[in-house]
Structure 1
Amino acid sequence: MARYYFSCPNVYFGDEAITSLSQFNDKRVAIVTDDFMVTSGKTRYLINAMPQASVCIFGEVKPDPDIDILTAGAACFKAFKPDVIIALGGGSSLDAAKGIKVTLEEFYENHPIELIAIPTTSGSGSEVTAYAIISDPKNGRKYPLISENLVPDIAILDPNLVLTVPRHVAVDTGMDVLTHAIEAFVSTGANDFSDALAEKAIALTWRYLPQVFNDEKDIAARTHMHNASCMAGMAFNSAGLGLVHGMAHAIGGMLHIPHGKINAMLLPIVIDFNSKQARPDTRDRYHRCAQIMGIDHAVPEQAIAQMTQAIRQINRHFGIPATLSELGTDRAKIDALRQALVSSALADGCTASNPRAATAQDIEALISLIAG
């Protein structure tokens, strides 16, 4: 019998979730975020919930944080010696905070730091995972770091913090949620616990993401998507991901494409690849995904084909291109990077749990498909 792992931080959710910060009223609290969260007053929203805390803010996180951001953040907090680090923002801020936390703990040695994750987008699931994506801009790559030490102690899901996320960002990150859930469900590491969360995340995303697209201020739809993102994060933290993410880290890093967008573009292509020559259990799992999405064809292969078509249609509805050429990427640049993309995707930790083993030739063929 295989051994599996499942972790679940304390999760506070709902309109009053932010009030849970009151438990840190007598602590030294470091906040890791970006400049917008500082200037827009979002950090003040947190501070008001713990008015007696001593607070220090590092607000210099940029998209796709690299090692320089982690070093700068750790330097900002070294003299402060925080008891708690609060990560506020999207996946970049959460990933940066994870890296800063472990950097500081190595520096202090015997001073453990509690990590609180407060996502302001509904996508990465980083608030409950052992993953952090750190960029290497010199080589145009993104590296997933995986360690139990990166799992936050507490996640706070406050839907009021995602209401201002623009429509195009909400759909990109929302399709990231769908990708997380489907990949976790068909992963070689899938298990009873991850399955339950992945299935619910698929159902919530397929129902409520179009509602967010239609009405950015729909608080109920935003709440469901925020919860779905967290559930999908718990699912893939236990089960692993797959080739969509393995290729997305490579393509997104080298061609500078938002992570959720490239995931959405790759998802139907990789499902098509995985479902061919698929083991019966993989085929059955994709069939179950289709059923959750309201596709109830009795023949699994037909249901899977209809599912990939439905994903392509919803991408089109959301304005997400089908190919890199449609996105405006220079084909010559893709060709020049082809071998590096293949090598990076093969080496990516997410690729290892894909339900169908992929060769270099397979990935080359998939790159040609996504190139358009």
Structure 2
Amino acid sequence: MSTLIALPRILRIGADALADLPAVLADMGCRRPLIVTDDYLVSTGAVTRIGEGLRAAGIEFAVFGDVVPDPTTDSLKPAADLVRTEGCDAVIGFGGGSSMDTAKAVALLATTDRPMREFKAPTLTDEPLLPIIAIPTTAGSGSEATRFTVITDSETGEKMLCPGIAFLPTAAIVDHTLTSSMPPRLTADTGIDALTHAVEAYVSRKANPFSDSFALTAISTIGRYLRRAFADGADDQAREHMMLAATQAGIAFSNSSVALVHGMSRPLGAHFHISHGMSNAMLFPAVTEFSVGAATARYADCARAYGVADDAHSDEAAAALFVAELRQLNHDLEVPAPHDLSIDPDQWAGLLPTMAEQALASGSPQNNPVVPTADEIAAIYRSIF
């Protein structure tokens, strides 16, 4: 049985790769892109600097600077309308995962009148959209290399996973210098997000030799450099390695899958507005402990790649060390528990059945080494509170 592997057609990786954006657009035959970003990157002048480079190359552009965290279907409409009114022929996602997810969805909605909910999993969307260029400014989501977007339905509150090759960026520009101003909290949350991507890709029921190689390389790199990037944001070597690892982890899970952590994290964002990376970090140790017995050798490989075990350890010992390290990593990177965020415990308890069903409905838990029941998912939610 074959495995479908899909990658961006163009990848520009390295310091100051952002300067290659005009050349990338020219290679794609695009002359009027829409830059999709957030108000912070507009306020810092980063978008202005991109615009100067584009104008110098004779490329006109429009800017949508109102991306919201965890983008919603309502938040997409003004950007899609702007593509049409400005006659844009490409969409550039510039920012974190929310900006890139918004850009992917806008590239679709600008070409159809169908609502976004019609494109959520298990529907696969493979027809061509407007070309998408992804430029990440955080080292975590991996969205620059994935065939997914995640959008919250404004009417129902459901956080929808929308899959398909249509959402895979045509080009990605991976420039680690764009992450140098990331604060420690964002560095931690996005870094653990990238680690979660790599580990879930490796232990997924859809894992394959191609995704395995990217996953293990990313795990090894993150094990060496995440704490360094968290401790010193000016550590250029750590920033460079974390940025590359995040892209490698994105390639891994895009060509394998994520699993239970991601299925459970989406309801936390939808109901409590916890960032995606932080939601993953909260869940990662408990979900790994729940899952490890069904894929002990695979988790042991993760432990050895990460650097907390070696060949002298049995698989069982290595896997146990990995679970312990995930808990220690959360401690060292100051990941809060839900109760630390002043979430009402009665509200949390009351939403457990709904969140468990939403997690299962996402499809991701079905890729987990242990496919959980709704009651088991609720128990994990209860344990992390």
TM range (shorter): over 0.9
Question: C-alpha distance in 1, partners of 2:265/2:129?
Answer: 34
**Could you tell me whether the CA contact under 8 Å between 2:70 and 2:152 is conserved in 1?**
yes
Tell me the alpha carbon deviations over residues 162-199 of structure 1, each in whole angstroms, 9 at most, x when there is no partner.
11111110110000000000000000110011001000
Question: C-alpha distance in 2, partners of 1:258/1:39?
Answer: 22
**Corresponding position: 1:286 with 2:290:** no
Instruction: Indicate the residue corresponding to 2:119 in structure 1.
Output: none
**Could you tell me whether the CA contact under 8 Å between 2:16 and 2:177 is conserved in 1?**
no
Deviation, structure 1 residue 121: 0.7
SS at match of 1:308: helix
Deviation, structure 1 residue 255: 1.7
**Could you tell me whether the CA contact under 8 Å between 1:83 and 1:112 is conserved in 2?**
no
Q: Percent identity?
A: 37
Q: Please, what TM-score do these two structures have when normalized by structure 1?
A: 0.94
Alignment of 1:162-177 (within 5 A): 162-177=179-194
SS at match of 2:296: helix
Instruction: Indicate the residue corresponding to 1:31 in structure 2.
Output: 35
Question: C-alpha distance in 1, partners of 2:274/2:154?
Answer: 13
Instruction: Indicate the residue corresponding to 2:215 in structure 1.
Output: 198
* Greater Cα shift, 198-207 or 7-16: 7-16
Question: C-alpha distance in 1, partners of 2:169/2:128?
Answer: 16
Instruction: Indicate the residue corresponding to 1:4 in structure 2.
Output: 3
Question: C-alpha distance in 2, partners of 1:313/1:140?
Answer: 33
Question: C-alpha distance in 1, partners of 2:84/2:358?
Answer: 34
SS at match of 1:79: helix
**Corresponding position: 1:63 with 2:80:** no
Letter in 2 for 1:15: A
Letter in 1 for 2:4: Y
Question: C-alpha distance in 1, partners of 2:101/2:128?
Answer: 21
Aligned length: 363
SS at match of 1:78: helix
Instruction: Indicate the residue corresponding to 2:260 in structure 1.
Output: 243
**Could you tell me whether the CA contact under 8 Å between 1:105 and 1:111 is conserved in 2?**
no
Instruction: Indicate the residue corresponding to 1:48 in structure 2.
Output: 52
SS at match of 2:161: strand
Question: C-alpha distance in 1, partners of 2:183/2:90?
Answer: 30
Letter in 2 for 1:62: V
The ranges of structure 1 where at least 4 consecutive aligned residues each deviate by more than 4 angstroms after the TM superposition are none
Deviation, structure 1 residue 202: 0.5
Q: List gaps (5 residues or longer) in structure 2.
A: 114-126
**Could you tell me whether the CA contact under 8 Å between 1:125 and 1:233 is conserved in 2?**
yes
Instruction: Indicate the residue corresponding to 1:318 in structure 2.
Output: 333
CA RMSD of aligned residues (A): 1.7
SS at match of 1:106: coil
Q: List gaps (5 residues or longer) in structure 1.
A: none
**Could you tell me whether the CA contact under 8 Å between 1:65 and 1:134 is conserved in 2?**
yes
**Corresponding position: 1:343 with 2:349:** no
The verdict on how the C-alpha distance between 1:16 and 1:315 changes in structure 2, with shifts beyond 3 A counting, is same
Deviation, structure 1 residue 216: 0.5
**Could you tell me whether the CA contact under 8 Å between 2:90 and 2:107 is conserved in 1?**
no
Question: C-alpha distance in 1, partners of 2:274/2:306?
Answer: 27
Letter in 2 for 1:42: A
Deviation, structure 1 residue 138: 4.9
Give the alignment partner of residue 301 of structure 1, picking from 316, 332, 335.
316
**Could you tell me whether the CA contact under 8 Å between 1:91 and 1:119 is conserved in 2?**
yes
Q: Please, what TM-score do these two structures have when normalized by structure 2?
A: 0.91
Give the alignment partner of residue 367 of structure 2, picking from 346, 353, 369.
353
